[in-house]
A = this chain, B = another copy of it.
Amino acid sequence: MGILHGATVFVIMSLMTPVHSVLPGNPRVIDMTHTFDENTIYWPTLRQFKRTGVLRNYTADGTWREESDIEGAEHGGTHLDAPAHFSKNKWRSHDIPVERLMGPAAVVDVSPKAAADADYLVTAEDFQLWEEKHGKIPDGCLLFIKTGWGKFWPDELLYLGTNTRNTSLLHFPGLHPDGARWLVQNRGMHAVGIDTASIDYGQSTVYEAHQALFGNNIPVFENVANLDQLPAVGSVVFALPMKIGGGSGGPARIVGFVNKHEYSPPHVDL
C-alpha cells in the first residue's frame, strides 16, 4: 500500500516558495468537521460526547494549565464508520490503510430531492445523472453525498427528526441499498461520506447500505460538515480518523482543498 492506488492527489514539494504564489487557483482549505462539544450530535442510543475539565487555572508554580478528559461512543460527531462496524472480519479503524482515507472528492448533490422528502434514498440513477455532467466517479475518490442536512446541525430535531432516544422517529435521507450495491459493483471509490448521521436513512432498521459498502471494505464518514463549500469535482479531501486499535469507527478530522479556479458558488446537480 505504498502508493496511492488509483488516486489522484498530486503533491509537489516546493520548499522555499510560498504556496499562494505558486498554486494555480490559490486553493482554499475547508474544515469539513463539526466541533466536538456539548451540542455534538451522537447516535441517540449511544454514549454521548463529554469533555470533563480537569484543570483551567494557574498552578502553584505560577504557570497556566488547561487539561480535560474526553469520552463518548465511536459513532458521533464527524466520524468514521470502519467496515467492521457492520461486517465481520472486515477492517477495524486501525486496519484501514491511510491511502484509503484521501483522494479527489466527488460531491453528489441530492439536496433538492431530500428537501422534498426527508426519507429520500439516493439511487444508482442519481449517480448516473451526476456522471452525465461530471464524468465517471473516479477510482480512488472520496464520494460525498450532499443531502443539505448539514445546515440543520446541531439542531437534533431538524437533523435527526427527533431529539428523543426513540430511533423509530428518526427521519433523514440516506443511500439506497441498491445504490450502495451499484457503487461497490461498478465504481472504485476509496470511501463514502454523507452530511447526515448515517449512510442509511433514518428509517432504516437493517442498515443495508452500510452492509453493502462494508462487505467490500469501503469506509464511511458521517456527519460531514461544510459539503456546501465543495464543488462537484476538483477538490481533494483528507479524512483522517483517530487510529483506534480494534475500533469500529471514531472521531475524524476532515479537510478539503478547493482550487479557486475550479470552484463555483454552491450549485445543484439534480
Contacts and interface: CB of A to CB of B under 8 A. Distances in A.
A2 B205 CA distance: 41
Given A13-B104, A13-B235, A15-B233, 17 more contacts: A3-B27, A10-B12, A10-B22, A10-B23, A11-B11, A11-B23, A12-B24, A13-B236, A16-B138, A18-B140, A35-B243, A37-B246, A63-B207, A66-B86, A68-B246, A69-B74, A70-B244
Contacts of A88: 64
B70 A71 contact: yes
Interface residues of A, number: 97
Contact of A19 (B8, B66, B135, B207): B8
Interface of A: 1-20, 22-24, 26-29, 31, 33-38, 40, 46-47, 51, 53-54, 61, 63-75, 78, 84-88, 92, 94, 98-99, 102, 104, 135, 138-140, 205-207, 211, 233-236, 238, 240-253, 255, 257, 259, 262
Given A11-B27, A240-B255, A248 B36 contact: no
A98 B254 CA distance: 10
Given A8-B14, A18-B5, A85 B65 contact: yes
A205 B262 CA distance: 51
Contact of A18 (B8, B94, B211, B249): B8
Contact of A67 (B17, B29, B73, B243): B73
Nearest to A241: B253
A4 B29 contact: yes
A10 B8 contact: no
Given A20-B4, A61-B205, A63-B206, A242 B253 contact: yes
